[in-house]
Structure 1
Amino acid sequence: MPTSFEQYVHDNARDLLRYATALSCDPHTAQDIVQSVLMRAAQRWPGIEQLAAPGAYVHRMVTNEFLSWRRRAVRTVSLPHGVLEAVTPPYPDETDVVDQRQLVFQGIALLPRKQRAAIVLRYYANRTFAEIAGELGCSEATARSHISRGLAALRDRIPALERAKEAL
């Protein structure tokens, strides 16, 4: 059953924002990414809603937007202030409650974009290696390599982040 774009945003904006925040490690950048994706999705919604999995398509748009975010010039078009908050009111960030999770996010923020995306897709979005490869546009072996290298970097960096935090 086709849904209106407004209903899709109402039902999925929070999940898209959480996913984009996990990718970008910055809630403000995440809002920009989701805003940009939703603006493009709104223009193409009649075609998107006809797809077998419109939610997966929009999710992929968020991933692609994150991967290309720094390569593009700053956008001049934006939604009026407070539009996303009206659809999905701000909610407390639960990651600050758990120090270990915060350290992991700090470590993830230091990873290269593709490694970061692969780690988030695998352990946050619970995707298979085949799904990760499809979303990143690479082979399964490359997706596994991104995850392996990202995890190795996290194992090296998290103890250093813990020591730095304790020194404060």
Structure 2
Amino acid sequence: MGFDQFVTDRLDRLLGYATAITCDKHLAQDIVQNVLLRAQGKWERIGAMDAPYLYVKRMVTNDYLSWRHRKAAREIAVERGELARHAPAMADPADAHAERDAMRARIAVLPRKQRAALVLRFYEDCSDTEIAQVLGCTESTVRSQLSRALQTLRTHELARSATLGVHS
């Protein structure tokens, strides 16, 4: 498969994956664009692989986990916090978008590797082996990252419920 066909077939999925791990549509677009530019230059080698999509997904993950985007991600989180404090309370007419945004806010509290592991498992439906391949770690590390991520999410949800006075 040629590079252009790969991009045509996989761009939406790469953008969806990148948006899920970054919790930011614009940062995800930047990452995918940078990765695809680099991949295009190496496409002869990448395209000959058994699973070029997994390789490119790993490039996206590595770019997200790299130091280059940490500052941008922190600035975006601060801006969102500032905007949320000053924005008027309005109901979102699109329930699907509201739920997706709520999930992004929940997973945004996770460390980067835990967030990536969680997205790979539940959004991309990857096995431990595939996640380990994308993250460049062992399967036991994947299971540990997932366990910690889920525990953190449970703890935050319980704290949020207690703050709101909600009893399960």
Q: TM-score range by the shorter chain?
A: 0.7 to 0.9
Quick one: distance in 2 between partners of 1:18 and 1:162? 29
Q: Kindly tell me: are residues 123 and 55 of structure 1, through their superposed partners in 2, closer, same or farther at Cα, counting changes over 3 Å?
A: same
Structure-1 residue corresponding to 2:121: 122
Seq. identity, %: 49
What letter is aligned with 1:134? Q
Larger helix percent: 2
Task: Give the TM-score of the pair, scaled to structure 1.
Answer: 0.74
CA shift, 1:99, in A, is 4.2
**TM superposition shift of 1:110:** 1.1
What CA distance in whole angstroms lies between the structure 2 residues aligned with 1:73 and 1:157? 24
Change (3 A) 1:14 1:164: farther
| 1:78 corresponding residue in structure 2 | none
State the Cα distance separating 1:35 from its structure 2 match: 0.5
CA contact (8 A) 1:21 1:30 kept: yes
1:35-114 pair list within 5 angstroms? 35-70=33-68, 97=96, 99-114=98-113
- Judged with a 3 Å threshold, the aligned counterparts in structure 2 of structure 1 residues 47 and 21 are, in CA distance, closer, same or farther, namely same
Distance 1:146 1:19, change over 3 A: same
Inter-CA distance 102–164: structure 2 relative to 1 (3 Å threshold)? farther
Aligned to 1:23: 21
Q: Which moved more, 1:144-153 or 1:96-105?
A: 96-105
Unaligned runs of 5+ in 2: 73-93
User: How many equivalent pairs are there?
Assistant: 144
Query: Match for 2:101: what amino acid?
Result: Q
* Root mean square deviation, CA, Å: 2.6
Instruction: Give the unaligned 5+ runs of structure 1.
Output: 75-94
Deviates more, 1:22-31 or 1:44-53: 44-53
Report the Cα offset of residue 148 of structure 1: 0.6
Could you report, residue by residue, the CA deviation over 1:58-113 in whole angstroms, capped at 9, with x for unpaired residues?
A: 11111111111546899xxxxxxxxxxxxxxxxxxxx8626444322211111000
Contact 2:55–2:134 (Cα < 8 Å) also in 1: no
- Asked whether the 8 Å contact 2:57–2:134 carries over to 1, the reply is no
In the alignment, the residues of structure 2 paired with residue 97 and residue 23 of structure 1 have an alpha-carbon distance, to the nearest angstrom, of 18
Query: Which amino acid in the other structure matches residue 133 of structure 2?
Result: G
Alignment of 1:151 with 2:150, yes or no, is: yes
What TM-score do the two structures reach when normalised by structure 2?
0.74
Structure 1: 4+ residue segments shifted above 6 A: 71-74, 162-166
